[in-house]
Structure 1
Amino acid sequence: MFNVVKLLELKEKLREEVRGLLSEREARQAENDSHAKRRPRPCGLTIHTSIGCFFQCRYCYIYDMGYPAKASPYPLSGIQVVYALLSNKYFIPSLQGTYLAVGSVSEPFHPLVKERTIEYVQAFYTYLGNPVQFSTKAYINRGDAARIADASRGLISPLVTIVTLNKWSELEPQAPKPELRLETIKNLREAGLKPFLFLRPIIPGVTEREYKEIVDQALEYGAVGVVAGGLRVTKSIIKNLKESGVDIREVLKRVDVPVEKMRNGVQYDVYTGDIKSGIQKYALKKGLLFFPSACMANLYTHGMKCWRMSLYGVEVSGMRKPRVDEVASLLGRLGFKASSVMVGEATIIARGKCVNCDPTFVSEVVLHEFRMCPKLRLSGD
């Protein structure tokens, strides 16, 4: 089990070591950066190697969030970002620690920023060892694929996004064509990595007509599996999809809120469970891995497993599910006084009170200790 005291001691030791490599100004800049304060998301703690994206995909939500349709390298150096993470109270270092996800609000391998991305990857694997994943629509040539593999010691988890073969020029007007992204899969695989097809977002009216061909081609080019994910829309994304020729009736009937009642800039989930189920069945039929969450692919490529993987055909022999008393004991040591604990197939649900604790940090420790998705529910006083 995690020894929380030793974990925090290791983190502080690493932080002091890395601090010694920075000037006063560089350290202060890193401490004030958002990477030093950001909370982990389900996919991990997001890493920005740039801000904004040139590709202007019509289904993308980052432009509603205020990010520009251009990008430049992130201002921090690789060692500064490492220091920022070690200054983040939610971050857990080591292979068993916090997942790092590169590419959430940018294209990490655009020619203008790829050197910064490779610099960050090198720094993460040199100083931290955490599982790192990137998502991309870029064309990555053989030379760059080899550099990425070398920087990550052959471990990094690549997700290559292809959501349409027939409508990419309308939906992804500035992105490399799918044929080049298939070459990216091939080059990454030949470099010794384990690329996954990233079929996200699932776009009703488009994806269900194309996913079999997309999966077939990804398999042919060397993908080891498929990660499929849903779609979130805003009023402007609905408008963009309509202008791109998508039959938005298929989208709108899967959203709980009528478009006329949507608030500007607010993201709304689109139900895609039935389409995702079809993708899962087809991918497994083809002998590919299938994961519904990106973090599962990240774990897999780093030689680890979680209990949710067992629901998708991955053998988890050698793992032992925690007992309720073990979970309650760990929660108690972290300051979460549980009144009830339930251990399910792949989740842990605990209800109780935080006594001088941070629920986000507690969730991170529970997630990485037991490899089960935690849900902490705070009860009233």
Structure 2
Amino acid sequence: MDLIRYLEFKEKLRDRLEDELSPESIERARRDPHARRYPRPCGMTIHTGIGCSYSCTYCYIYDMEFPHRARPYPLNGKELLYALTLNPYVVLGPGGTMLAMGSVTEPFLPETRERALEYIETLGSIGNPLQVSSKSVLSDGDIARIKEHAPHISFLETVVCIRDCRRIEPLAPDPMDRLMFAGRLARAGVNVSLFIRPIIPGITDRDAREILSTARELGIKSVVLGTLRVTASIYKRLRSIGIDLSDRLPSSRLSREQVPIRARDLKDRIVAIAREMGFRVYESACGANIEAAGLGCYACKWGPCGDVSRLPNVDARHVNEFIKYLGYSGRVEQLSNYRIVTRLDKGDSRRVEALLRELLRREVIIKGHSAPRCVGAGMCRDFD
């Protein structure tokens, strides 16, 4: 596997964009967090907007002081792509860093829809594994646009309840409309998964069979589940609408930080129903992204994901040349089907860890005096 060509592709793309963008656009992109944020093992979050008007009671973004009214992200598509070419931890191109949209906003609100579609077009053109999570309902024209520019996109459509929707998600589209939309995505050939996240005790588990049964009838074949995480504020909001979590998380553990409730039993129950109905159940959201992109991955504890026979073939010599090309000093000590151990004598160990993990789709361990704590085996964002 020619690892160096990914760096060369990124450099050429950056040079081209510098010729096309104005000095103001270049400076705006340089200052943006996308140009420096460190991706997790499950990928890089792409912000299409800031804030969300759906006002879901379980949403964490309001505790992060994001507003209840959305605005599109300030970078246009080319500016965003340029910011990513500046990020030393991101691999661009087919099989590169996984990209995921839908974190601090709903991507397809009226205020953010066009920006999200622009990002899908721009990022779809470079071939990185791309995923979007949403509660919105789009037109057939929008579906065609997504399919044309990002044919391998992984689309997660969220449905967590039916009967209590207006209590839980007061301003989001009706869950049945979302399921119908997901069915239209499936019929159009888009890789769509049902996103049952978060699992709300007494609400989601009660409606799960109906949600899954309807999804199956509409042609949806896969599902991702995620646990509810709460802060003191979310805990209080849920309690105000009659959802008591005291038996699953003592209130004494709550703060401004998100804490997962104890819900393994609920998740296992829904997984069993889904498998009984013939659904493909992904252990994490990024697993759906990997499979939609036709890749394999064994970089974290949730793996293996996708077809592991598709893990890139590489030998130690190529990795050593890659480290040298970066201007660093180091060597491979161990390389197996699912792990690479590298000693780094000089260089940015976090950069080497991120780039090798994203290129090789294996657990990466960096040794040396500047080595970071290994994150490859344990951390993974599964949208919960």
Which residue does the alignment assign to 1:224?
221
- Residues 1:378 and 1:160: Cα distance change in structure 2 (over 3 Å): farther
How far does residue 124 in structure 1 lie from its aligned partner after superposition? 1.2
Closer, same or farther: CA 78–277 of 1 in aligned 2, 3 Å: same
2:353 equivalent in structure 1:
363
- Equivalent residue number for residue 59 of structure 2: 60
Distance 1:237 1:375, change over 3 A: farther
1:188 to partner: Cα distance = 1.3
**Aligned twin of 2:128:** 130
Percent of aligned positions with the same letter in both sequences? 37
Q: CA deviation at 1:221?
A: 1.9
Report the alpha carbon displacement of residue 352 of structure 1 after superposing the two structures with TM. 6.0
Q: Equivalences for 1:247-262 in 2 at 5 Å? A: 247-252=244-249, 258-262=250-254
- Separation in structure 2 between the aligned mates of residue 132 and residue 155 of structure 1, nearest angstrom: 8
Q: Is the 8 A contact 2:353 2:364 kept in 1?
A: yes
User: Which one of the candidate residues 271, 295, 302 is aligned to 1:304?
Assistant: 295
**Aligned partner of residue 278 in structure 1, secondary structure:** helix
| Equivalent residue, structure 2, for 1:119 | 118
- The code of the aligned residue for 1:271 comes to R
Alignment of 1:343-354 (within 5 A): 348=339, 350=341
Q: Conserved in 2, the CA contact under 8 Å of 1:50 and 1:73?
A: yes
Distance, in Å, in 2 between the alignment partners of 1:231 and 1:336 is: 43
Higher relative contact order (CA 8 A, sep 6+): 2
Aligned mates of 2:245, 2:86 — CA distance in 1: 44
Distance 2:120 2:308 in 1: 31
**Distance in 2 between residues matched to 1:362 and 1:104, nearest whole Å:** 26
Summarize the Cα distance change of 1:83–1:200 in structure 2 as closer, same or farther, 3 Å threshold. same
Q: Is the 8 A contact 2:2 2:318 kept in 1?
A: no
Q: Amino acid of the residue matched to residue 362 of structure 1?
A: V
Cα pair 2:297 2:306 within 8 Å, conserved: no
| Cα distance in structure 2, aligned partners of 1:312 and 1:339 | 23
- Note closer, same or farther for the CA distance 1:324–1:19 as it changes in structure 2 (3 Å cut): closer
Q: Mapping of 1:60-99 within 5 angstroms?
A: 60-99=59-98
- Secondary structure, in 3 states, of the residue corresponding to 1:195? strand
Shift of 1:75: 1.6
Asked if 1 retains the 8 angstrom alpha-carbon contact of 2:91 and 2:358, the reply is no
Structure 1 vs Structure 2 CA RMSD? 3.1
- Give the counterpart letter for 2:196 in structure 1: L
Q: Measure how far apart 1:350 and its partner are.
A: 4.8
Residue 146 of structure 2 corresponds to 148
Name the CA distance, whole Å, in 1 between partners of 2:322 and 2:202: 45
1:283 and 2:280 matched: no
For 2:31 and 2:311, how far apart are their aligned partners in 1?
41
Q: Partner amino acid for 1:370?
A: L
CA distance in 2, matches of 1:41, 1:362: 14
CA distances 1:50-76 after superposition (whole Å, capped 9, x unpaired): 101111111111111111111112121
Instruction: Show structure 2 runs of 5+ residues with no match.
Output: 372-384
Q: Deviations over 1:86-140 (max 9, x none)?
A: 11111101111011101111000112211111111111122x2211110000111
Return the offset for 1:261.
Answer: 4.5
Listed one character per residue, the Cα deviations across residues 199-248 of structure 1 (whole Å, up to 9, x for unaligned) are 11122333332222222222222222001122221000100111122131
Contact kept in structure 2, 1:202 and 1:230, CA below 8 Å: yes
SS at match of 2:97: coil
Looking at structure 2, the residues matched to 109 and 92 of structure 1 have their Cα atoms a distance apart, in angstroms, of: 26
> Which segments of 5 or more consecutive residues in structure 1 lack a partner in the other structure?
253-257
Once the two structures are superposed, residues 286-329 of structure 1 have per-residue CA deviations (whole angstroms, 9 ceiling, x without a partner) of: 22211121111111112222248998897737446989978996
Retained in 2: the 8 A contact 1:328–1:341?
Answer: no
The TM-score, its normalising length taken from structure 2, stands at 0.85
Alpha carbons of 1:320 and 1:302: their partners in 2 closer, same or farther (altered >3 Å)? Answer: closer
Q: What code does the residue aligned with 2:259 have?
A: Y
Q: 1:7-41: CA deviations, max 9, x gaps?
A: 22221111001111111111111111111111112
Quickly say closer, same or farther: Cα 1:141–1:377, change in 2 above 3 A: farther
**Equivalent-residue separation in structure 1 for 2:92 and 2:245 (angstroms):** 44
| Alpha-carbon distance change, 218 to 354 in structure 1, aligned in 2, over 3 angstroms | farther
Quick check: 1:196 aligned with 2:193? yes
Q: Do the aligned partners of 1:322 and 1:343 also contact (CA within 8 Å) in 2?
A: no
Task: Measure the CA separation in 1 of the matches of 2:303 and 2:93.
Answer: 26
- 1:233 alignment partner in structure 2: 230
CA distance, structure 1, for counterparts of residue 35 and residue 79 of structure 2: 10
Number of aligned residues: 369
Residue 121 of structure 1 aligns to which amino acid in structure 2?
A: I
| Contact residue 296 and residue 304 of structure 2 kept, 8 A | no
For residues 91 and 150 of structure 1, what CA distance do their matches in structure 2 show? 25
The one of 253, 259, 275 aligned to 1:268: 259
Q: What letter is aligned with 1:65? A: M
Mapped to 1, the partners of 2:322 and 2:76 lie a distance apart of 36
Is 2:165 aligned against 1:174?
A: no
Structure 1 contact 363–374 (Cα < 8 Å) conserved: yes
Distance between the aligned counterparts of 2:225 and 2:120, measured in 1? 24
CA distance 1:63–1:9, shift in 2 (3 Å): same
Letter in 2 for 1:149: K
How big is the shift at 1:146?
1.5
Aligned partners of 1:282, 1:336: CA distance in 2, in Å? 51
Look up the equivalent residue of 2:252 and give its one-letter code.
E
User: What is the distance in 1 between the residues matched to 2:308 and 2:354?
Assistant: 23
**Preserved CA contact (<8 Å) 2:296 2:308:** no
